[in-house]
């Protein structure tokens, strides 16, 4: 069994700790800041044995070297990107292991050119970094609309009960845009109400699921690349 814990960092990041009870191993996904993940592990009596990066941005890799220095954990990250301290190169078709749990690597460019996601098929778990957010998607800092659209389609082709662990708490602003983009979608309005309530109580709105994103994420629901590109451009300048 995997225990997955969100560690808040910066203004809105989630750094994920993944713990395998059987082996006692713990991985940290996208440690942008070392201090909070090391503190959380000390609290829980866990020892970090691996570091997994989805892409190079500093809010995902800034704590790599400090965590590695503190724990000796090797760093795994995407082949096409400059990952601080990387020991293991990850690319399409590769894998990570935590005890008996196997996560396969898929390449999901768009936010960055070398972005990857880690898919644990048996556990119905995916770590998606900044590619897909609850009710939204990452900005196109390096990639093209075609790349991001395909990446989102790959992620949402996973089984509908797959839990998607994204790296930011953006759901409220994404939901407001989704309601603007699809005003007649009752699933969007219902989910937005739930998100507003959760955030008012200081609760996290992630992970999300493939099923929820298929129903309420306008970027996933776009029927072609042109529609996706229009929505992404509109979202970039959207003010709620």
Residues marked active site are found at 55, 57, 59-60, 111, 130, 168
Give φ, ψ of 17 to 5 degrees: -100, 135
Query: What is the pLDDT at residue 136?
Result: 98
Per-residue pLDDT tens over the stretch 141-168: 999 999 999 999 999 999 999 999 999 9
Categorize the per-residue pLDDT at 199 as very low, low, confident or very high, splitting at 50, 70 and 90.
very high
Closest by CA position to 161, among listed 117, 219, 209, 92? 209
> What CA–CA distance (Å, rounded) separates 12 from 206?
12
Question: Average of pLDDT values for 40-69?
Answer: 98
Distance CA 7, CA 40 (A): 7
Could you read off the pLDDT of 96-138 as tens digits, one per residue? 999 999 999 999 999 999 999 999 999 999 999 999 999 999 9
The helix/strand/coil state of 193 is helix
Query: What span, in angstroms and rounded, lies between the C-alpha atoms of 155 and 129?
Result: 12
* Whether residue 52 has a cis bond before it, omega within 30° of 0: no
Instruction: Locate 35 and state its tokens.
Output: 């201090």
pTM (predicted TM-score): 0.98
Q: Is 220 helix (H, G, I), strand (E, B) or coil?
A: helix
At residue 1, the pLDDT reads 84
Q: Is 38 helix (H, G, I), strand (E, B) or coil?
A: helix
Give strand ranges (E) for the chain.
Answer: 2-9, 13-20, 25-29, 47-52, 75-78, 88-90, 95-98, 101-107, 116-120, 125-129, 132-133, 136-137, 163-166, 208-209
d(CA 73, CA 154): 30
């Amino acid at each position: 069994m995997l225990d997955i814990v969100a560690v808040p960092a910066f203004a809105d990041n989630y750094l994920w700790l993944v713990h395998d009870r059987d082996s006692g191993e713990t991985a940290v996904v996208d440690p942008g800041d070392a201090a909070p993940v090391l503190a959380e592990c000390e609290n829980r009596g866990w020892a970090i044995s691996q570091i997994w990066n989805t892409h190079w941005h500093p809010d995902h890799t800034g704590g790599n070297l400090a965590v590695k220095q503190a724990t000796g954990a090797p760093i795994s990250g995407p082949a096409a990107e400059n990952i601080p301290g990387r020991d293991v190169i990850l690319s399409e078709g590769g894998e990570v292991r935590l005890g008996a749990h196997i996560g396969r690597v898929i390449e999901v460019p768009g936010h960055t050119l070398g972005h990857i996601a880690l898919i644990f098929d048996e556990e119905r778990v995916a770590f998606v970094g900044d590619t897909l957010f609850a009710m939204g998607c990452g900005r196109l800092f390096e990639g093209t609309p075609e790349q991001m659209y395909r990446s989102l389609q790959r992620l949402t082709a996973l089984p509908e009960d797959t839990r998607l662990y994204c790296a930011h708490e953006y759901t409220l602003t994404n939901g407001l845009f989704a309601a603007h983009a699809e005003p007649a979608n009752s699933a969007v309005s219902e989910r937005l109400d739930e998100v507003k309530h959760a955030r008012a109580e200081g609760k996290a709105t992630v992970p999300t699921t493939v099923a929820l994103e298929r129903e309420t994420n306008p970027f996933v629901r776009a029927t072609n690349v042109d529609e996706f590109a229009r929505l992404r451009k509109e979202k970039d300048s959207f003010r709620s």
